[in-house]
A and B are shown apart, each in its own frame.
Chain A
């Protein structure tokens, strides 16, 4: 299977690889997937007092599409409000990266990671976690 140019681009020059200090209250961390499944994604956001995401970082163990999906997600997250970030749908990622059907779950993982990071941030700051519709796997 050939990869789309966008997947290759994100994969070869991944944006925003790295680690934020998870002990800080302004940082939300989402760790999703499992080594046994062959994919683990860690996505982190730094949120300012206006609920705007000022920075995002990721590290991913997974296939090229999973790495590209998380790289793209960090790009999209920066500058978005928490509310807008919650609206990112895995199908937006699929479309942007032209992922084939067998790679849709890699984008689902990215969406899960975004939501997990946001909820981690919310819980840390005494807010209630958003409901996340589970079950796409």
Chain B
């Protein structure tokens, strides 16, 4: 077992060696520009891109013509939201999204508001899921798009996408989903799920960084987005720029591996995750954040009350995890996702996200359990709040010298 142990697979995943192998020829031997139609170098690159497009389409049950390659999920989210708004703004200017979305979605929505759009940010319930009745009530005649993520990056909860898309379509709106955390981890099928646009990214599914895709439906209905990057008209005019051939080939290979292996991988990882969670919630005053039934198989977000997340991460120096603590963020605000579940600030500060992945072993999980327990106990020995809790003092009645 090598230290430190990587348990931050929601932030990024290591690349699968098989992906690297598939990419390598496209850095040198097959270096051509996929848009060069007149010579063998171009054809070789184009062939790689075409094949990757099929691999990606297959993973999500799409047609390869519906895949637009981008630089990652951030760009895909931007293209989907701004592109739909620009394309359909004569039909209506209203978009519905939710407060736990990734910043790429939230900030693209903010941008649309500046352009005259109107955006509803739905709250979530304490388990992190949106309320479908509230969603339907928010729809107006002007609603052109409902953008709700598939799986959440901090707590892993899976939104009821089938029901959401049904509501969107019933009211003539499009359904877009940021599926960056879900694609390649759980079965995602654009037709079964009723998805019109979907963003995802290579580096969250054991592929390379800097490459992703936007799925754009071509039939029932035919969806169009206004390009956000102008130029040579690549990707059916929706995304100009010379294609990142090695990256795209890598995304394709990553998609194929996920398609073939994700079912077994999900079973293995959810067993390990459940073991981790069960062992850690044995600790007093520890709480799992988010719905545990509708959740990605490889994630557990746990708050250890009365210890602070960054301090905890420092004590677990051999574990690479992440925390919703404010002390880890430049803004000094704890995670907005956790806060939107109604979590008090102190619980949000006390949270750790464990993200398991393809290369996580049981031995590593066992080690993580031991390290976490030791660290939590060490920090509770140092924590004035823990001492007060143990003395039976209600912390809500203490007058804090807030600063």
Contact = CB atoms under 8 A, between A and B. Distances in A.
Interface of A: 3, 11, 14, 17, 19, 31-42, 59-64, 66-67, 102, 105, 108-109, 112, 116, 137
A35 B395 contact: yes
B306 A61 contact: yes
B384 A38 contact: no
B323 to A, nearest CB: 10
Given A32-B403, A33-B401, A33-B403, 4 more contacts: A34-B400, A61-B384, A63-B327, A116-B401
Contacts of B382: 14, 17, 59-61, 67
B314 A63 contact: yes
Contacts of A38: 308-310, 325-327, 334, 345-346, 349
A60 B386 CA distance: 10
30 contacts: A3-B314, A31-B401, A33-B400, A33-B402, A34-B402, A34-B403, A35-B344, A35-B345, A36-B344, A36-B400, A37-B403, A38-B308, A38-B310, A38-B326, A38-B334, A40-B384, A40-B385, A59-B383, A59-B384, A59-B387, A60-B384, A61-B382, A63-B308, A63-B310, A64-B311, A66-B327, A67-B382, A108-B403, A112-B403, A116-B401
A66 B311 CA distance: 9
A64 B314 contact: yes
A4 B330 CA distance: 19
Most chain-B Cβ atoms within 10 A of its Cβ — which of A19, A31, A62? A62
Q: Which of B306, B314, B345, B385 has the most CB of A within 10 A?
A: B314
Contact of A19 (B310, B327, B334, B387): B387
Interface string B377-390: 00001111111000
A11 B310 CA distance: 12
A62 B308 contact: yes
A37 B387 contact: no
B279 to A, nearest CB: 24
Interface in B336-364: 344-346, 349
Given A66-B311, A67-B311, A137 B403 contact: yes
A42 B401 CA distance: 11
B262 interface: no
Nearest to A32: B401
A52 to B, nearest CB: 25
A31 B401 CA distance: 8
A37 B310 contact: no
A112 B402 CA distance: 11
A67 B311 CA distance: 8
Contacts of B381: 17
B155 interface: no
B321 interface: no
Contacts of B332: 105
Contacts of B330: 102
Nearest to B328: A63
B311 A31 contact: no
A17 B395 CA distance: 21
Contact of B307 (A61, A66, A112): A61
Nearest 7 A/B pairs, CB to CB = A34-B400, A35-B346, A36-B345, A137-B403, A64-B314, A42-B384, A63-B327
A56 to B, nearest CB: 14
A29 to B, nearest CB: 10
B318 to A, nearest CB: 13
B310 A64 contact: yes
A102 B331 CA distance: 10
A43 B363 CA distance: 40
A47 B383 CA distance: 23
Nearest to B395: A35
Most chain B beta-carbon contacts within 10 A, residue among A11, A40, A42, A67: A40
Interface in B270-324: 306-311, 314-315
